[in-house]
Structure 1
Amino acid sequence: MSKLNKECLPEGFHYFPKGISFDKSLALYEHLRTQLPWQQPEIRVYGKMHKIPRLQCFVADQSVNYGYSGKQLDNCGWLPVLSAIRTRLQRQYGQSFNALLLNWYRNGQDTMGWHSDDEQELGHEPMIVSVSLGASRLFKIRNKVTRETNSILLETGSFLVMSGRSQNDFEHSLPKQAKVSQGRINLTFRTVG
Structure 2
Amino acid sequence: MQRQNANPQQLPNGFSYQSRALSAQKSLDLFYYLQKNLTWQQPDVTVYSKTGPIPRLQCFISEHNFEYGYSHSKLIVEPWPDILFAMRKRLEKHLNQPLNSLLVNYYRDGNDTMGWHSDDEIELGHQPTIVCVSLGAERVLKLKQKSTNKITDLKLQSGSCLVMNGDSQRDYQHAIPKQTTLAHPRISLTFRYIKQIKQAQF
TM-score normalised according to structure 1 size: 0.97
Shift of 1:68: 4.5
Matches within 5 A, 1:119-158: 119-158=121-160
Determine whether 1:114 maps to 2:122.
Answer: no
SS of the residue 1:62 aligns to? coil
1:169 and 1:179 mapped to 2: Cα distance?
Answer: 31
Aligned residue identity for 1:95 = Q
Question: 1:2 corresponds to which residue?
Answer: 3
Deviates more, 1:141-150 or 1:54-63: 54-63
Identity of aligned residues (%): 47
Unpaired runs of 5+ in structure 2? 196-202
TM-score normalised according to structure 2 size: 0.93
Question: 1:44 corresponds to which residue?
Answer: 46
> Alignment partner for residue 164 of structure 2, among 158, 162, 165?
162
1:73 and 1:118 mapped to 2: Cα distance?
Answer: 19
2:19 and 2:36 mapped to 1: Cα distance?
Answer: 25
Contact 1:64 1:98 in 2 (8 A): no
1:64 and 1:190 mapped to 2: Cα distance?
Answer: 13
Aligned residue identity for 2:80 = W
> Alignment partner for residue 94 of structure 2, among 87, 92, 95?
92
1:161 and 1:71 mapped to 2: Cα distance?
Answer: 28
2:71 and 2:153 mapped to 1: Cα distance?
Answer: 25
1:4 and 1:178 mapped to 2: Cα distance?
Answer: 20
Aligned residue identity for 2:149 = R
CA 68–42 in structure 1, closer or farther in 2 if over 3 Å, else same: closer
Determine whether 1:176 maps to 2:178.
Answer: yes
SS of the residue 1:92 aligns to? helix
Determine whether 1:21 maps to 2:51.
Answer: no
Aligned length: 193
SS of the residue 2:170 aligns to? helix
Could you report, residue by residue, the CA deviation over 1:89-139 in whole angstroms, capped at 9, with x for unpaired residues?
Answer: 001100111000000000000000100011110011100100000000000
2:42 and 2:177 mapped to 1: Cα distance?
Answer: 18
Q: CA RMSD of the aligned region, Å?
A: 1.1
Deviates more, 1:133-142 or 1:55-64: 55-64
SS of the residue 1:85 aligns to? helix
